[in-house]
Amino acid sequence: MANSHAVKVGVACPIPGERAAFLEWLTLAGYEPVPMLNIEGLAHELSSRPVQALICDVKLIPKKDLPRLVKALGPNRALILVGNHDEALEDVPRDATWMDRPVTRDTFLLSVALGLAEGRPSRRSPRKLVPALLSSIDGISSKVMDISIEGVRLEITGASPASLPPFFTLKVPGFGVNAKVKRVWVAAPDQGSVWCGGVIERPNAKQVASWQKFIVNSPDMGQRIIETSAGI
């Protein structure tokens, strides 16, 4: 049964083995893969089956059709193109993510996560960098790396991207934080380490005040970054 909270990722790849691998990797990482088999009518298929990201073989899209495809995909949606290193990189839209063949699982999942992160609207508030505060998510050890009014960025050691549920409880014992977080993106840039960005669920005034108090009282690394493109 499909997870109603999972991010839907379209896969338009004509090579059967590669397509099967992409679908499997997405499923194991907690995404909901959507095979796009109507290659000729890709723009129409995107309109009838909206996704939050599209992975597409670059050879399937003539340069003249790229604007129509991007429009059909919709605003703030990630376009991830797959191709050989010597294929025409100048045909790749400025906001697309490019993956060279052969594609490894780690590169694939990182590209998807970063594509989704960069495709979202920017955060409205400053990000406060904090000195790796000890925390846990659903009992798994983690570190809070930065926070804002809307969200949090975490580093989790000894976990895999597939092990992080769509929603989890974040606890920061030193500050009394016990907050529900909606996972937005996940990436594994280093072996044994997973990075995760999430939105804080604040259903009542008490939890809003608690999170704001955490932002004020947490130690500051001396640098605040206003988001302009990269999301949570």
- Asked if 129 contacts 145 with a C-beta cutoff of 8 angstroms, the reply is yes
Q: Coil, strand, or helix at residue 205?
A: helix
Q: By mean pLDDT, which of 30-34, 145-149, 200-204, 216-220 is the weakest?
A: 200-204
Q: Coil, strand, or helix at residue 117?
A: helix
CA-wise closest residue to 183 among 212, 152, 216: 152
Instruction: Supply angle C-alpha 89, 92, 95, rounded to 5.
Output: 130
Same fold, 8-119 and 127-225: no
Q: Coil, strand, or helix at residue 107?
A: helix
Amino acid 89: pLDDT = 47
Question: What CATH number does the domain located at 8-119 have?
Answer: 3.40.50.2300
Q: Coil, strand, or helix at residue 139?
A: coil
- Asked if 174 contacts 209 with a C-beta cutoff of 8 angstroms, the reply is no
Concatenate the DSSP letters of all residues of 172-199 into one string: EGGGTEEEEEEEEEEEEEETTEEEEEEE
pTM of the entire predicted model: 0.54
Amino acid 61: pLDDT = 77
**Rounded mean pLDDT of the chain?**
79
Token duo for residue 155: 């580093």
pLDDT over 50 at 224, yes or no: no
Residue ranges per domain, the chain? 8-119, 127-225
**What's the rounded Cα separation, in Å, for the pair 29 and 113?**
10
Amino acid symbol at 93: P
Q: Which of 16-20, 100-104, 155-159, 206-210 has the highest mean pLDDT?
A: 16-20
CATH architecture assignment, domain 127-225: Beta Barrel (2.40)
Token duo for residue 93: 């839209």
